[in-house]
Amino acid sequence: MAQSTLGLTIAMAMAISAPASSQGVREQPAAPLAAWVRTSDGRDIEGTLVTGTLAFTVAGVARQVAMGDLLSFHSAAPASSFEAQRIDVDLKAVAGADPKAAEAATAELTDIGLPVLTPLLRSYADTDAHEPDPRYRLFARIVPGHADAQDRTLDLVRLADGETFRGRWTPVDLKLQTTDGVETTLAAATIRRLAIQRPTVERTFELQALHHCTYVGFLDTGVVVTPVSKLRADAAGFVRLSFDEDGWATDPDGIKEPLPGKRKLQEGFRWGSVLGRVGPAGERWFAGRHVDKADLGAGRLYFAVNDNEHWQNNIGGYRVRVHVTNAYDLGDAQ
């Protein structure tokens, strides 16, 4: 989320009337939900949304989704001129030689979402040397295999019960009201993504020493934390950073006593330890076997195994479980 918009308090009200009961008494209004909207011109708006429904057509059948059941909605509408320009620039950065620029570009392309799929697929070259091309991970971050479809123009919907489906949204504008009483309308055509904040988000994932090390790429948990989020993470397992050299093997806390003549720390942290960060350019912090952390800031939550540029001899991995409060669930860990 853009830092400039995170402090914005917005009440987003859908124009939905509560039906009258048989006694002529209206139902009590539903409690508002914390929500985050990403627009097609690159804005991130966070606020509260009065509970309503979204309407879809799925395989020719109408379907209603209650806002409270929604994790995230991702629009497949064609890229705006702003998005098209960013997609072109970012795909070049992802394929470039600057890893930090590639990470920032990957994060932005993931936020743009479904309109990236076609230009991303066209960017691949059919070679025998695919790994570790970050574009392969990018595809899965945008649409994991279980959510892919023949028709790329279908919107993507993720629900709190674990269901994911593709369909066509029946667009509705969102009415916004700021704390000073000023109302505005966010046009349906500008909505790229809508996410509903969850009281808690839990994930269990495999952190592989070969694919998710600091010089290849951090794993994107699919979780976006907020300034009030609290994180608990537990990791278990074993990695080897030099195949059969046991002195380079470790648990998630990292190598405490490196081999003679080897430096103790790699960029300030133990070799092989689990590191976390928030945002593609966020400060790294030690997670190890267990971490409880607050004051995370705001942004996507990432983890990696700490190593240097000689990662090709890594093997093994950690199983990591995270529990995050007051966060957004935007997709699978990739």
Q: What is d(CA 178, CA 303) in angstroms, rounded to the nearest whole number?
A: 35
Q: What is d(CA 237, CA 228) in angstroms, rounded to the nearest whole number?
A: 30
Q: What is d(CA 87, CA 118) in angstroms, rounded to the nearest whole number?
A: 11
For every residue of 9-32, DSSP letters joined together read -EEEE---PPPB-TTSPBPPPPPP
Q: What's the angle, vertex CA 220, arms to CA 216 and CA 221, rounded to 5?
A: 140
pLDDT at 7: 40
Taking CA atoms, 318 is separated from 100, 233, 234, in Å, by 24, 12, 10
Positions of the chain with pLDDT under 50: 2-29, 178
**Half-sphere exposure of residue 31: CA atoms within 13 angstroms, side-chain side:** 3
pLDDT tens digits, one per residue of 239-254: 999 999 999 999 999 9
DSSP helix/strand/coil, 69: helix
Q: What is d(CA 133, CA 47) in angstroms, rounded to the nearest whole number?
A: 36
Strands in 53-154 per DSSP E: 53-58, 61-66, 70-74
Q: What is d(CA 163, CA 243) in angstroms, rounded to the nearest whole number?
A: 39
From 219, 42, 165, select the one nearest 113 (Cα to Cα).
42
How many residues in total does the chain contain? 334
The residues that bridge with 223 in the sheet, in sequence order, are: 329
For every residue of 279-311, DSSP letters joined together read STTPPPEE-TTEEEE----SEEEEEEE---S--
pLDDT at 48: 81
Q: What is d(CA 253, CA 321) in angstroms, rounded to the nearest whole number?
A: 15
Taking CA atoms, 230 is separated from 23, 148, 200, 275, in Å, by 45, 32, 9, 17
pLDDT at 14: 37
pLDDT at 115: 98
From 171, 176, 100, select the one nearest 134 (Cα to Cα).
100
| H or E stretch at 161 | none
pLDDT at 130: 58
For each of the domains in the chain, give its residue range(s) and CATH number, in order of start: 3-76+154-196 (no CATH), 81-147 (no CATH), 199-329 (2.60.120.430)
pLDDT at 174: 76
